[in-house]
């Protein structure tokens, strides 16, 4: 359905909204990869009340997909059906210091701006956000962290709207945080959070932020079109080490490349499509599984539909007998399963069997 047809279907139901509605919105202009197909329609609500009205007005059979600032996001070439919601900076991008140790921040505030607000207020514990290329909403969802600190250590409570537009307030314990994970329902849209740090002098905070920035510029491809860390760190090791040991540093497919500088960062060298990027990621996963027996989980969120004839259903790479046994026997692969309605199938080159395992969209 085109964006215009979608909006025509809803007619006057959306007439009272105050936010910005864009039909057939190009997601390549939003994602930091600068790749991806269009959304049927993009809605940027004016504030929490406007977002609640939108969610109540849109029938539940029409998909609503939430995106943040696009830093850790890969959109497939076929685009996104229904509505994409992206919180506006004006309505959701502010930070308010409410006590000597607490900040209430909107979910659209960039992590770097949150760190700056804490610095100005003399509140410690937020320096790690200076090095995270994302927004607070995504950090709340995935328990983002860096430099030995995680979001869960700063959260007091989180405000969120469900698909029906109803408000919920979650405590830190309610969020169910674990490594790069929260257990609250996936259809919730976070709108703001109350965060807590501790008193610290500005000079110390600035030094911590400078150290974070120096580290990023030294070891990460910060000037490339990238989505940040591609894979979560497996237990007991680092994702980049396993990618490197599998010979995937600098590996290139089309315009997509595993960065030679930091091989857990996937970059668009200039011409990459969403297809190139996801194909490369699944190829790396297959090669790491073959080399070390470790199944890497995506940290980058992949959404949208495959373009006709461009579905990612194979990862090319030499397949040993051991790797083949794991790849084609889902029972031997912990946490593997088709939990997403549109999973990728992986069957490395050289495998004589036709069956393939469906990787989940983790």
Residues that are catalytic: 180, 229, 299
CA distance 290 to 296: 11
**Number of residues that this document lists for the chain:** 362
CA distance 201 to 252: 46
CA distance 273 to 310: 11
What's the per-residue H, E or C state across the chain? CCHHHHHHHHHHHHCCCCCEEEEEEEHHHCCCCCCCCEEEEEEECCCHHHHHHHHHHCCCCCCEEEECCCCCEEECCCCEEEEEEECCHHHHCCEEECCCCEEEEECCCEHHHHHHHHHHHCEECCHHHHHCCCEHHHHHHHCCEECCEEHHHCEEEEEEECCCCCEEEEECHHHCCECCECCCCCCCEEEEEEEECEECCHHHHHHHHHHHHHHHHHHCCCCCEEEEECECCCCCCCHHHHHHHCCCCCCEECCEEECCCCCCEEEECCCCCHHHHHHHHHHHHHHHHHHHCCCCCECCEEECCCCCCCCCCCCCCCCCHHHHHHHCCHHHCCCCCCCCCCCEEECCCCCCCCCCEEECCC
Which candidate, 57, 56, 43, 47, places its Cα nearest to that of 85?
A: 43
CA distance 24 to 343: 25
The residues with which 282 forms a beta bridge, in sequence order, are: none
Cα of 26 vs its chain's centroid, Å: 18
């Amino acid at each position: 359905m085109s964006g215009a047809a979608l909006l025509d279907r809803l007619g006057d139901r959306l007439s009272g909204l105050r936010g910005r509605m864009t039909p057939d919105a190009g997601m390549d202009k939003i994602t930091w990869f600068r790749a991806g197909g269009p959304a049927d329609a993009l809605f940027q609500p004016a504030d929490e009340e406007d977002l609640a009205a939108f969610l109540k007005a849109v029938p539940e059979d029409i998909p609503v997909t939430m995106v943040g600032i696009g830093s850790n996001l890969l959109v497939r070439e076929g685009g996104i059906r229904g509505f994409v919601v992206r919180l506006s900076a004006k309505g959701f991008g502010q930070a308010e210091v409410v006590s000597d140790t607490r900040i209430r921040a909107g979910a659209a505030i960039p992590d770097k701006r949150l760190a700056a607000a804490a610095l100005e207020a003399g509140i410690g514990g937020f320096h790690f956000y200076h090095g995270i290329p994302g927004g607070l909403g995504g950090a709340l969802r995935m328990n983002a962290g860096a430099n030995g600190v995680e979001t869960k250590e700063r959260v007091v409570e989180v405000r969120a709207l469900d698909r029906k537009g109803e408000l919920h307030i979650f405590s830190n314990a309610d969020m169910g945080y674990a490594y790069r994970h929260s257990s609250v329902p996936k259809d919730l849209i976070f709108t703001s959070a109350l965060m807590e740090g501790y008193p610290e002098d500005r000079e110390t905070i600035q030094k911590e932020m400078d150290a974070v920035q120096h580290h990023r510029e030294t070891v990460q491809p910060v000037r490339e079109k990238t989505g940040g860390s591609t894979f979560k760190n497996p237990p007991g090791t680092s994702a980049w080490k396993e990618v490197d040991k599998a010979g995937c540093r600098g590996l290139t497919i089309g315009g997509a490349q595993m960065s030679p500088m930091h091989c857990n960062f996937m970059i668009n060298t200039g011409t990459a499509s969403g297809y190139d990027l996801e194909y490369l990621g699944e190829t790396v996963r297959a090669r790491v599984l073959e080399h070390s027996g470790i199944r890497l989980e995506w940290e980058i969120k992949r959404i949208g539909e495959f373009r006709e004839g461009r579905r990612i259903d194979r990862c090319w790479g030499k397949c040993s007998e051991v790797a083949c046994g794991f790849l084609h026997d889902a029972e031997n692969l912990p946490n593997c399963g088709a939990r997403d309605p549109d999973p990728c199938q992986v069957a490395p080159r050289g495998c004589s069997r036709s069956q393939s395992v469906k990787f989940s969209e983790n």
